[in-house]
């Protein structure tokens, strides 16, 4: 029961973060959106990091994995934010949800074998992405650039996959607060502070609650996933991967974003493949 609650909670929070990002980037630049999100996340996380203290066995390898996790996460968020400026939530979020599959590919390149069923599901995801990218859009958004949105989403999924793979190594070695720290720290040091110094860190009254909500959703969502995975990682992973269809439905209801039949077909292929792959890899 705990894994079900945590998995659904993770999916809802990640979907909420995607929706908030898609609105914020229409008002201020994507870089500022990510910078404020990570700054708020750091404010939330830092007290728990200080409370946990420095791990006794923190070594150079852990620091390297933390850097990979942080840089990958922040870069992925920037790619996603840029994609939301020129594309629809219903197409972008399913592509971003392939991050877990890409982490599996990275593991394969580093020596782990890939089962035939996993390879098939990865190919299905590629087909789904291509269909969603080339399908005609019945009601384009203003300034929409669907191909660019798909390319940015794929780039985001790739670097999210690197981050997720690094987090997988860290989660077995460090407290959860230290696993959450890298992305927020990188976001502040590499993004927020330079933008502040260049006087390009933007925020408005409308976007302030949006980025605050993103900061909380990112941290709490990851925390719920970590808790749920301690009980049943398969159930938690499958349910968490459903943030993509949840975001697509919410975007349709809230923002009236419609997708064409071919777009829906491509998205459905991606969602089904991600769901099955999450179950397969989590139980193996």
Residue ranges in the chain whose pLDDT is less than 70: 104, 107-114, 233-234, 281-284
Please return the burial class of 191, using the count of CB atoms within 10 Å of its CB with bins 0-12, 13-18 and 19+.
Answer: buried
Identify each DSSP E strand in the chain by its residue range: none
**Containing domain of residue 212, as a range?**
2-283
User: Rounded distance, CA 227 to CA 39, Å?
Assistant: 24
Q: What is the DSSP string of 193-242?
A: HHHHHTT-----TTHHHHHHHHHHHHHHHHHHHHHHHTT-HHHHHHHHTT
pTM above 0.85, yes or no: yes
pLDDT of residue 108: 66
pLDDT of residue 135: 82
Look at the chain and report how many structural domains it folds into. Answer: 1
């Amino acid at each position: 029961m705990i894994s079900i609650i945590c998995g659904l909670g993770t999916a809802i929070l990640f979907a909420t973060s995607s929706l908030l990002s898609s609105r914020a980037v229409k008002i201020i630049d994507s870089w500022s959106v990510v910078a404020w999100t990570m700054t708020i996340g750091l404010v939330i996380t830092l007290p728990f990091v200080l409370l946990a203290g420095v791990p006794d066995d923190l070594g150079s390898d852990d620091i390297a994995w933390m850097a990979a996790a942080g840089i990958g996460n922040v870069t992925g968020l920037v790619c996603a934010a840029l994609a939301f400026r020129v594309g629809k939530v219903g197409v972008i979020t399913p592509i971003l949800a392939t991050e877990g599959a890409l982490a599996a590919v990275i593991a394969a390149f580093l020596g782990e074998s890939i089962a035939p069923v996993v390879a098939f599901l990865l190919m299905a995801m590629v087909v789904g992405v291509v269909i969603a990218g080339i399908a005609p859009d019945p009601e384009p958004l203003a300034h929409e650039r669907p191909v660019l949105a798909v390319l940015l989403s794929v780039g985001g999924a790739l670097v999210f996959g690197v981050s997720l793979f690094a987090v997988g190594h860290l989660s077995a070695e460090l407290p959860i607060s230290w696993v959450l720290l890298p992305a927020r720290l990188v976001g502040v040091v590499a993004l927020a502070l330079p933008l502040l110094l260049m006087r390009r860190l933007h925020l408005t009254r409308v976007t302030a609650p949006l980025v605050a909500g993103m900061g909380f959703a990112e941290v709490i969502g990851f925390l719920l996933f970590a808790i749920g995975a301690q009980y049943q990682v398969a159930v938690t992973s499958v349910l968490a991967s459903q943030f993509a269809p949840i975001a697509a439905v919410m975007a349709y209801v809230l923002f009236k974003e419609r997708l064409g039949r071919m777009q829906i077909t491509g998205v459905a292929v991606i969602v089904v493949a991600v769901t099955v792959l999450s179950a397969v890899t989590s139980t193996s």
